[in-house]
């Protein structure tokens, strides 16, 4: 059984706690340190992953490493990397780091595979060039940042336009996400959680119900200050 907890999501901070097969993982550590230690016992953590250097993901990277948590990152990785048979406190797991496009910033999606689950974590990207269709994902945490329909309404002469254009070029919108999800094997997928939603150009009901009705897989939308709202359960 997989347990996914969102402590924070979006441009102000990201941190998710994932439990699978009695293994505990921290995915990004961009929220307040106190919140992390209040929600997870660091002695039980098998691995922490920092996707890229932006502070909303990497804020507590050094602190975690300093406390002796085994850390991996997508910052110094520009090729597809497979780390096989890593020892967890219980059993083993494999990691795959998959480079994804996030403007000029190095960023990698992460795949964690153990005895019973295959989990994909992909945030802050507008494109994944790798074919991931060989993986039978059981759980997916993926960015759904904006609605193309909302962004399309912004006046080209407004101050917001330039900022939003940059956002579109480095983040994933709902329609882009459907194309990405369509390319994956979802036959074993039990849950899709949408993360890193924009506060200005996203809408959790539209996003959650649209993904649920397309795939008929329980869909969660992570909330900025923590927690997950579910659709279809
Ligand atoms: Zn971010
Ligand atoms: Zn970023």
Query: Quick one: pLDDT band at residue 166, thresholds 50, 70, 90?
Result: confident
Those residues with Cβ within 8 angstroms of residue 64's Cβ, 6 or more apart along the chain or in another chain: 26, 29, 42, 48, 71
CA distance 51 to 30: 10
State the distance from the centre of ligand 2 to the C-alpha of 52, rounded, in angstroms. Answer: 7
pLDDT over threshold 90, residue 162: no
Q: What is the mean pLDDT of residues 120-126?
A: 98
Separation CA 92–CA 84 (nearest Å): 9
Ligand with the closest atom to the CA of 52: 2
In the DSSP assignment, the letter for residue 200 is T
Which residues, 6+ apart, have CB-to-CB distance to 154 below 8 Å?
160, 161, 164
152 pLDDT tier (thresholds 50, 70, 90): confident
At residue 106, does pLDDT exceed 90?
yes
Confidence at residue 207, expressed as pLDDT on a 0 to 100 scale: 98
Average pLDDT over residues 122-139: 98
State mean pLDDT over 11-21: 97
Instruction: Give pTM, 2 decimals.
Output: 0.97
Residue 160: pLDDT band by 50, 70, 90 thresholds?
confident
Q: Which ligand is nearest to the CA of 103?
A: 2
pLDDT band at 9, cuts 50/70/90?
Answer: very high
Q: What is the pLDDT confidence band of residue 179, given thresholds at 50, 70 and 90? A: very high
**Gap from CA of 54 to ligand 1 centroid (Å):** 7
As to burial, measured by CB atoms within 10 angstroms (0-12 exposed, 13-18 middle, 19+ buried), residue 134 is exposed
Average pLDDT, integer, range 39-54 = 98
Domains annotated for the chain, with CATH where assigned, are: 2-231 (3.60.15.10)
How remote is the CA of residue 58 from the centroid of ligand 1, in Å?
9
What are the φ/ψ torsions at residue 95 (nearest 5 degrees)?
Answer: -120, 145
Q: Is the pLDDT of residue 16 over 90?
A: yes
Q: What are the pLDDT digits (tens) for 183-223?
A: 999 999 999 999 999 999 999 999 999 999 999 999 999 99
For the CA of 195, the nearest ligand: 1
**Distance from residue 191's CA to the centre of ligand 1 (Å):** 22
Residue 167: the pLDDT is 86
Question: For residue 15, which ligand has an atom nearest its CA?
Answer: 1
């Amino acid at each position: 059984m997989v347990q996914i907890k969102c402590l924070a999501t979006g441009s102000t901070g990201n941190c998710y706690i994932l439990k699978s097969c009695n293994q505990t993982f921290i995915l990004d550590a961009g929220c307040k340190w106190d919140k992390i230690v209040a929600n997870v016992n660091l002695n039980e953590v098998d691995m922490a992953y920092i996707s890229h250097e932006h502070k909303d993901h990497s804020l507590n990277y050094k602190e975690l490493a300093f406390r002796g948590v085994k850390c991996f990152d997508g910052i110094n990785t520009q090729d597809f990397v497979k780390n096989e048979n890593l020892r967890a406190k219980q059993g083993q797991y494999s990691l795959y780091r998959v480079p994804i496009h996030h403007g000029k910033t190095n960023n990698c999606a992460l795949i964690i595979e153990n005895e019973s689950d295959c989990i994909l974590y992909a945030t802050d990207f507008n494109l994944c060039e790798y074919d991931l269709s060989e993986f039978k994902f059981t759980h997916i945490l993926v960015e759904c940042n904006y609605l193309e329909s909302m962004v399309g309404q912004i006046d080209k002469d407004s101050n917001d336009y330039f900022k939003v254009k940059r956002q579109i070029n480095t983040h994933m919108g709902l329609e882009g996400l459907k194309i990405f999800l369509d390319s994956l094997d979802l036959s074993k997928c039990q849950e899709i959680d949408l993360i890193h939603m924009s506060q200005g150009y996203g809408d959790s009901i539209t996003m959650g119900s649209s993904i649920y009705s397309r795939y008929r897989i329980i869909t969660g939308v992570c909330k900025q200050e923590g927690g997950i709202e579910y659709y279809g359960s």
